[in-house]
Amino acid sequence: MMEKTPSQILGIDVGGSGIKGAPVDIVTGKLTAERIRIKTPGKAEPKPIAEVVQQIAESFNWKGPIGIGFPAPIKAGVAMMAANISEKWVGVNADDLFTKTTGLPCTMINDADAAGLAEMSFGAGRGQQGSVIMVTLGTGIGSAIFYRGSLLPNTEFGHIEIKGEDAEARASDAARQHDDLSWKDFAKRLNRYLEMMNKLFWPDLFIIGGGISKEHEKFLPLLKIEVPVVPAQLLNEAGIIGAALAAQRDQ
């Protein structure tokens, strides 16, 4: 049984394969209970996903605000597109849907933005006051950009074109696996992508996140870009922590 305290917010990370959640101490960035993971319902449609979020909240006997990281650009609580989820989400006010389903105040944020917030507050970007770009490499490429710690929301830098293709079709972890790339060849593709991002934004730091960041020693040393590139530190907890931080900002 877990009651919300003023320093805790329930963070939930909605993904195409799983929905994860845990209470977060927003002062320390630590999870205050073991996270729960429930398989994403087939087709990933709005009502079933909202019911899973409700189930996670009930598992913690949660009575306070909830932050939800979601795999889509979010404007005023509305999902603007759908990637690894049902197209029925497009145009839905997800803030309202989750709030009505759970009976608790819910705040939405793009999942890559959530991971970025967590890394900037408690991870690899902590204390960095310049321009920082976080890139999450997974099924696609997620992105989050910060200047002096402030987030520019809903960037979709995975769709920058390289050789006539979306960058994520060449430099995501899914592309690495699909094309059976060696780490050396993958590093070449990633380097090209980061060089293009550097020409456009001239950041002071790149943070590489997503599940592949656990393998960072196999490819980050092979990069030749002059901008510092570091692995994310919070790994699978970043989305949960960042979602909670987004809800804190909404209070």
Average pLDDT per block of 10 residues along the chain, 251 residues long? 68 92 97 96 94 98 96 92 87 95 96 97 95 94 95 94 93 96 98 97 96 94 97 93 92 69
User: Between 3.30.420.40, 3.40.50.2000, 2.60.40.3080, 3.30.930.10, what CATH number should domain 8-113+237-249 receive?
Assistant: 3.30.420.40
Does the domain formed by 125-232 have CATH 3.30.420.40? yes
Q: Where are the domains of the chain?
A: 8-113+237-249, 125-232
Long-range contacts of 185-188 (CB under 8 A, 24+ apart): 186/219, 187/219, 187/220, 187/222, 187/223, 188/222
pLDDT of residue 159: 92
pLDDT of residue 202: 97
Q: Do domains 8-113+237-249 and 125-232 have the same CATH topology?
A: yes
Q: In the block, which residue shows the tokens 């049984």?
A: 1
DSSP letters spanning 200-251: HH--SEEEEESGGGGGGGGTGGG---SS-EEE-SSGGGHHHHHHHHHHHHT-
pLDDT of residue 48: 96
